[in-house]
């Protein structure tokens, strides 16, 4: 079974869209989305430096655009429901996954991620907050240690990685008082995402989805909330809204992939983070990370191998 996954915030890199613009139709699609959301995706995706694309209001639309462009290129001529056994996204990547599953149109996904990014940036500006990766240690002990410091385990990613979120003071305390046998690495994100600090953004997103056309997923959609496959489009969107202030359980998503019999996993642009987790948590599963169009051939080989012949 082949799984397609889309990365979340923090995966963005300067110039991530540059090589994709050489492909037919990509510039036109990006221009259309840029006009729809009033954000120059091409400029930020080709010229934006690391600090500019760290801005949540920019990073989130840029990431979803890169995921949708690479997914559309990869799956051109294919029925996603026929070649993919499941689709999932990490945090904001869930919007790209929802579009791939047919729950949202690509343009609606871009419109919603623009609202999401702005609202989360505004929520993050209220208090100085951030996130740090905790690598290693026993998961239960790490979570207990974070709660002792009033930090939220905002991403439980599996493969020995938990992301803590909270105020800068709480994160400073974590750096001084690390969980046993664990390392702490500050992340280049501009807020405590997937925590109560993001509650105002939940309301903004709920308003934004009210008039959006929603369809039931055309293929298995695995949710960050609990790793369950969701078959109702309205429920997918409800989870997308509430997930803004709820922890990401990528560990449970990977457990679901394993239970479903995953044999291969493709991470769309900007790939690397989720394939890295899969290599550690899903041994024996073949992985391809789409970073540039040069990676398409390897990904297409996996698709060919997993496409039913009858």
Residues with a catalytic annotation lie at 91, 194
Q: Let me know: does 151 contact 113? Beta carbons within 8 Å.
A: no
Q: What is the dihedral of CA 268, 270, 273, 275, to 10 degrees?
A: 30
Q: Is 26:292 a contact under the CB 8 Å cutoff?
A: no
Query: Rounded to whole angstroms, what are the CA distances from 272 to 52, 279, 310?
Result: 21, 11, 33
Please, are residues 274 and 5 in contact by the beta-carbon 8 Å criterion?
yes
The count of C-alpha atoms lying within 13 angstroms of the C-alpha of 7, restricted to the half-sphere facing its C-beta, is: 27
Distance CA 175, CA 189 (A): 17
């Amino acid at each position: 079974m082949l799984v397609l996954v889309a990365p979340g915030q923090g995966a963005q890199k300067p110039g991530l869209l540059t090589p994709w613009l050489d492909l037919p139709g990509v510039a036109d699609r990006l221009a259309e989305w840029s006009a729809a959301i009033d954000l120059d995706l091409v400029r930020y995706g080709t010229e934006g430096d690391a600090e500019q694309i760290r801005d949540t209001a920019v990073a989130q639309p840029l990431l979803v655009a890169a995921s949708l462009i690479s997914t559309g290129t990869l799956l051109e001529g294919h029925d996603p429901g026929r070649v993919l056994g499941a689709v999932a996204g990490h945090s904001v990547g869930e919007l790209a996954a929802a579009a791939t599953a047919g729950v949202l149109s690509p343009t609606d996904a871009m419109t919603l991620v623009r609202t999401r990014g702005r609202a989360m940036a505004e929520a993050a500006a209220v208090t100085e907050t951030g996130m740090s990766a905790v690598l290693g240690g026993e998961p239960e002990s790490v979570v207990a240690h974070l709660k002792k410091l009033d930090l939220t385990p905002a991403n439980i990613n599996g493969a020995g990685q938990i992301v803590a979120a909270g105020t800068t003071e709480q994160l400073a305390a974590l750096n001084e008082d690390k969980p046993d046998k664990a390392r702490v690495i500050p992340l280049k994100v501009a807020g405590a995402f997937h925590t109560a600090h993001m509650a105002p953004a939940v309301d903004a997103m709920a308003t934004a989805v009210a008039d959006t056309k929603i369809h039931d997923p055309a293929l298995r959609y695995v949710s960050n909330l609990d790793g369950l496959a969701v078959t109702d489009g309205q429920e997918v969107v409800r989870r997308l809204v509430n997930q803004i202030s709820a922890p990401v359980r990528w560990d449970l998503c990977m457990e679901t992939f394993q239970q479903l019999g995953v044999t291969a996993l493709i991470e769309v642009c900007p790939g690397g983070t989720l394939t890295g987790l899969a290599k550690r948590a899903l041994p024996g599963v073949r992985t391809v990370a789409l970073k540039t169009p040069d990676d398409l051939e390897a990904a297409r080989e996996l698709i060919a191998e997993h496409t039913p012949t009858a």
